[in-house]
Amino acid sequence: MKIEIELKSMKFYAFHGVAPQERTVGNRFVVDVWLTADVGRATESDRLEDTVNYAEVYDIVKKEMEQPSQLLEAVAGRIVRALRGRFPRILQAKVKVAKRNPPFGGDVESAAVTLEL
């Protein structure tokens, strides 16, 4: 039995970017995670260990956001790999990492990448 799990609009202050200033000053980021997982046992057992623990998902995302990277693609890739490594019952994962007010001289709310595996 498959289930879809979403954690939306997780907000972080982090130090990702190509420019040295971005990795020094930092910026605001928003992360969304969508997971498809096999949780058939959890539907009957009502036990946390038979599903994907949302609090642990958040902690994994937070840990990966704390590691500075030049590219949002690298951040999203680390998040997906860490989630799949921790929760083998994940069948599909999709992660969106958005940088608020990117520093490239335009009026842009955010620049984002979405990675799906």
So which residues are the catalytic ones? 99
4, 36 in Cβ contact below 8 A? yes
Q: Where are the beta strands (DSSP E) in 1-117?
A: 2-14, 27-38, 90-100, 110-116
The residues, any chain, with a CB within 8 Å of residue 107's CB and separated by 6 or more, are none
